[in-house]
Structure 1
């Protein structure tokens, strides 16, 4: 099964000149989604970790079954102001505006090895901010995994030498 067939490019969305990678067809097909979870699980095995940190909201879709299959917990990485008890925050320049992310109080503990999970590495700014936040809270980034990396945006380069794996590679 070629999973890239399930991630079409939608031209000029959300603005002219942008080629949006639509994961909806992959999510809608049970075999394709299962294959993507299994593929990310294989990638995760290369990065021993204690827990999964997942980015709101699409990262949650892969992190939940991954955490279940590996017997680990999930740390939600949410947009600022969405958590009742923030454990720490980090701000970065997103694709369209400044963004603050947070993790819950007690989400990352000193010495934790955290696997960061998201659907797409685009500019890499959100994943890099998540990595900085984990490290600021005393954890170690075990690895950064995603379904795919978008060509030409340099996202992986922004992850400052941290271990990065993508299931579909750069498309």
Structure 2
């Protein structure tokens, strides 16, 4: 589901604050840069508020944020809905015992890690990132959480690149996005 087609005036400002950077990090990639969104306090707050409005009262106990931009949106959402924040990080960034999940990106391979013991069996989880493209990162995040018994309530992203069909890779798990980018 996307809010982009709704009449909420906050969405237009959010979309207008996202900068497209051609050929980053490699030729042919049209990078969706949310750092310009973060420079506008109202648009940034509206982004968080839209997610909080959706997830407040949904009995979510974990907000899992994907490194690095999921760390920007995940903690304020977690605090506002009364959930704990669980960071999903790149390899060798978390101290202690971790579990890992490799995945394929639209421009390479990567891996996510999560602390062992940070998530308990049966907890309800929201996965947060800035963008869904091919869906590989979200799938890896969900795999990590499900391996320890968490129930995935939904994935939440600021931006979706629908032409890359990432939503289709999520095996029926719900995905909620604020804006879609078709011109990328």
Interval of TM-score (by shorter of Structure 1 and Structure 2): over 0.9
Q: Confirm whether residue 151 of structure 1 aligns to residue 162 of structure 2.
A: yes
Structure 1: distance between partners of 2:174 and 2:162: 18
Structure 2: distance between partners of 1:12 and 1:90: 27
Which residue does 2:6 correspond to in 1? none
Which residue does 2:32 correspond to in 1? 21
> Does the CA-based 8 Å contact 1:91-1:101 persist in structure 2?
yes
> Does the CA-based 8 Å contact 1:47-1:115 persist in structure 2?
no
Which residue does 2:176 correspond to in 1? 165
Structure 2: distance between partners of 1:47 and 1:125: 26
Structure 2: distance between partners of 1:137 and 1:26: 34
Which residue does 1:92 correspond to in 2? 103
Residue-pair matches, total: 171
Scaled by the length of structure 1, the TM-score of the pair is: 0.93
Report the RMSD for the aligned CA atoms in angstroms.
Answer: 1.6
Q: Which shifted more, 150-159 or 116-125? A: 150-159
Residues 78-157 of structure 1 aligned to structure 2 (within 5 Å)? 78-157=89-168
> Does the CA-based 8 Å contact 1:43-1:167 persist in structure 2?
no
> Does the CA-based 8 Å contact 2:20-2:33 persist in structure 1?
yes
Q: Which shifted more, 16-25 or 43-52? A: 43-52
Scaled by the length of structure 2, the TM-score of the pair is: 0.87
Structure 2: distance between partners of 1:60 and 1:117: 8
Q: Look up the SS of the partner of 2:101 in the other structure.
A: strand
Q: 1:45 to 1:165 in 2, by over 3 A?
A: farther
Q: 1:19 to 1:127 in 2, by over 3 A?
A: same
> Does the CA-based 8 Å contact 1:88-1:102 persist in structure 2?
yes
In structure 2, runs of 5+ residues without a counterpart are 1-9
